[in-house]
Amino acid sequence: MHIAEPLGVPGAPFETLHAITSSVDPKQARLIFLTDRQGERQHARYAAMIISGQGPEAAVSMSALAFGPHFGEAGTQALADLTHWANSHDLPIRETVLNAPEFNRVVAEPDAHEVAALIAASNPSDAGIYTTLPQKQTD
């Protein structure tokens, strides 16, 4: 398995979205959203992991941490736009939830063993989850 350099810029939703959509060939690809929240999606951070190909020849591209309500309106919109892009190319969408410290480390420096574990732990996901997220609320 080949793990490419991260795509995008941490905390920059639209730049990261553009990096993914302009450099990833959606043919035979899969999309796994990684998040640090379950049940509190209005505060969630997301990164995208795109797997192209199968088995030992697979290539993995991890996005920078830049999607979701944690990054404001732009983060929420970019997550919805990435979901629409994936749907328009018939990419299956899956999700893996990690605890916050592990999430930060894995997104920054994934290794082949961790990537395989993330793929195995992922679950099919409904695209509507990512296109109808509420905005982050301030307390």
Distance CA 63, CA 20 (A): 7
Closest CA to 110 of 41, 32, 44: 32
Specify the amino acid at residue 53: G
Identify the pLDDT of residue 9.
94
Distance CA 50, CA 24 (A): 8
User: Would you state the structure tokens that stand for residue 87, as one six-digit string?
Assistant: 């749907």
Model pTM score: 0.89
Whether residue 34 lies inside any domain: the answer is: yes
What is residue 50's three-state secondary structure? strand
Q: What is the CATH number of the domain that holds 89?
A: 3.40.1530.10
Distance CA 29, CA 53 (A): 6
Distance CA 96, CA 116 (A): 12
Identify the pLDDT of residue 138.
55
Domain total of the chain: 1
Whether residue 139 lies inside any domain: the answer is: no
Task: For tokens 């990419």, name the residue.
Answer: 91
Range of the domain at 85: 2-131
* Residue pLDDT, tens place only, 33-89: 999 877 777 889 999 999 988 877 888 999 999 999 999 999 999 999 999 999 999
Whether residue 112 lies inside any domain: the answer is: yes
Identify the pLDDT of residue 135.
55
